[in-house]
């Protein structure tokens, strides 16, 4: 409609802080601005992106063309669809193939009538985000329930145990076997409930925490427990700053995750090749990697943080059993004989008490538990 492009060169630099790809284009697709995430994903310089037509970067751009024009014409204010980006196509060196990136596209109006905002979210990123949000909501929902239920179970346990003991004194010895069963089961329930309530019991002891000190503590504890056939690789970003937190609780959280990895690797530890050095895994040998990284502009739950740390606990074991993959952070979900299914619930609660969260990606041969904690 408008024949002028007389806007006083608006400044879109604020988009550079976004983790999603954003471009501002004219109705004909000419790119006026592309943010840092866009450049990175396209592996191009800003100048190269900005001189081009957005449509050139799509495998099939007809849908995008129609949508951008529709939005610019005011036919609708915004629209979303899936598309495939072709990146590195022009810059590809001879013999190097351009690769494709599947994205979710959101086209919307800007305050400048002939400019259109195009937001691209990597589909893998979208799935990860969806999963994180689901995990967060699930954990919130079960936390209260678990805590209340644990209290309700705990209250009568003392009474039941006392009554069984009194009863035992009145019974002939051959019947005391039954009261022993009651007492034993009550004790088991008691310790289960104590573990469930543990993270809520004390006010957190907050001090300066160094993530690598935590990793080293956990590493030495695990190596004492599994002295043979397990390799623990450290890949630390030592530039990570200290942060405020409850050190002992965080050690517990990381220990629970690493403990699970070690248990999943047990068969691989046992079949290590004879003669291999202790603690050194050969090809296919049991290996856990502790990796720390800085993350920028992360969303945890519904909150956005400028800076966070990521601790990845990666193992090369068989992976989380598919039947329980979606539910491992729920209390009492266990995939192994003798497991109580509380380790990850507790770890998640502790991470959340630090405004962080834990999520998991798992396939046979590579399981990655990622704990994200916001940094000041």
Ligand X SMILES: Nc1ncnc2c1ncn2[C@@H]1O[C@H](COP(=O)(O)OP(=O)(O)OP(=O)(O)O)[C@@H](O)[C@H]1O
Q: Total binding residues for Mg ion by CB under 5 A? A: 2
Give how far Cα 272 sits from Cα of 106, 130, 225, Å: 51, 39, 17
Residue partners of 53: CB distance under 8 A and separation at least 6: 28, 29, 30, 31
Report the DSSP pairing between strands 286-300 and 230-235.
parallel
Residue the block writes with tokens 């990666």: 314
Contact status: 199 vs ligand X (CB under 6 A): no
Choose from Mg ion, ligand X, none: what does 192 bind? Cβ within 5-8 Å by kind: none
Taking residues 321 to 340 in sequence order and writing x for each that binds ligand X by CB under 6 A, - otherwise, the string is x------x----xxxx--xx
CA distance 285 to 279: 10
The count of C-alpha atoms lying within 13 angstroms of the C-alpha of 52, restricted to the half-sphere facing its C-beta, is 20
Contact status: 341 vs ligand X (CB under 6 A): yes
Member of 29, 245, 317, 374 binding ligand X (CB under 6 A)? 317
Cβ proximity to ligand X: between 267 and 339 the closer is 339
Choose from ligand X, Mg ion, none: what does 72 bind? Cβ within 5-8 Å by kind: none
Contact status: 341 vs Mg ion (CB under 5 A): no
Taking residues 257 to 296 in sequence order and writing x for each that binds Mg ion by CB under 5 A, - otherwise, the string is ---x------------------------------------
CA distance 9 to 284: 57
Contact status: 260 vs ligand X (CB under 6 A): yes
Nearest CA to 370 out of 210, 204, 211, 208 is that of 211
C-beta of residue 120 within 8 angstroms of C-beta of residue 20: yes
Contact status: 138 vs ligand X (CB under 6 A): no
Contact status: 359 vs ligand X (CB under 6 A): no
- Residue 363's DSSP bridge partners are 366
Contact status: 196 vs ligand X (CB under 6 A): no
Q: Which residues lie near ligand X (CB under 6 A)?
A: 256, 260-261, 264, 315, 317, 319-321, 328, 333-336, 339-345, 367
Q: Which residues lie near Mg ion (CB under 5 A)?
A: 260, 343
């Amino acid at each position: 409609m408008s024949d002028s492009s007389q806007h006083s060169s608006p400044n879109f630099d604020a988009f550079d802080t976004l983790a999603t790809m954003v471009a501002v284009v004219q109705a004909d697709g000419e790119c006026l601005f592309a943010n840092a995430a866009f450049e990175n994903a396209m592996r191009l310089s800003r100048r190269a992106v900005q001189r081009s037509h957005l449509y050139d970067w799509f495998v099939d751009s007809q849908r995008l063309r129609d949508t951008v024009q529709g939005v610019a014409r005011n036919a609708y204010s915004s629209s979303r669809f899936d598309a495939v980006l072709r990146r590195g196509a022009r810059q590809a060196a001879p013999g190097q193939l351009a690769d494709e990136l599947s994205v979710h596209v959101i086209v919307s109006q800007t305050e400048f009538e002939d400019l259109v905002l195009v937001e691209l979210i990597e589909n893998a990123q979208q799935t990860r985000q969806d999963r994180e949000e689901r995990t967060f909501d699930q954990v919130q929902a079960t936390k209260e329930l678990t805590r209340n239920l644990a209290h309700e179970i705990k209250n009568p346990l003392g009474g039941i145990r006392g009554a069984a003991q009194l009863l035992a004194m009145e019974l002939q010895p051959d019947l005391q076997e039954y009261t022993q069963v009651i007492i034993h089961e009550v004790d088991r329930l008691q310790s289960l409930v104590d573990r469930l309530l543990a993270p809520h019991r004390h006010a957190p002891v907050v001090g300066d925490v160094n993530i690598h000190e935590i990793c080293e503590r956990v590493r030495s504890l695990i190596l004492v427990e599994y002295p043979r056939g397990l390799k623990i690789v450290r890949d630390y970003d030592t530039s990570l700053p200290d942060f405020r937190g409850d050190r002992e609780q965080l050690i517990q959280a990381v220990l629970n995750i690493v403990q699970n990895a070690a248990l999943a690797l047990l068969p691989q530890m046992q079949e290590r090749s004879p003669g291999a050095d202790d603690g050194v895994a050969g090809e296919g040998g049991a290996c856990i990697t502790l990796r720390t990284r800085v993350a920028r502009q992360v969303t945890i739950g519904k909150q956005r943080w400028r800076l966070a740390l990521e601790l990845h606990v990666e193992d090369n074991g068989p992976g989380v059993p598919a039947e329980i993959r979606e539910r491992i952070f729920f209390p009492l979900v266990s995939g192994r004989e003798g497991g109580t299914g509380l380790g990850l619930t507790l770890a998640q609660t502790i991470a959340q008490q630090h405004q962080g969260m834990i999520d998991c990606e798992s396939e046979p041969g590579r399981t990655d538990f990622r704990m994200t904690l916001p940094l000041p």
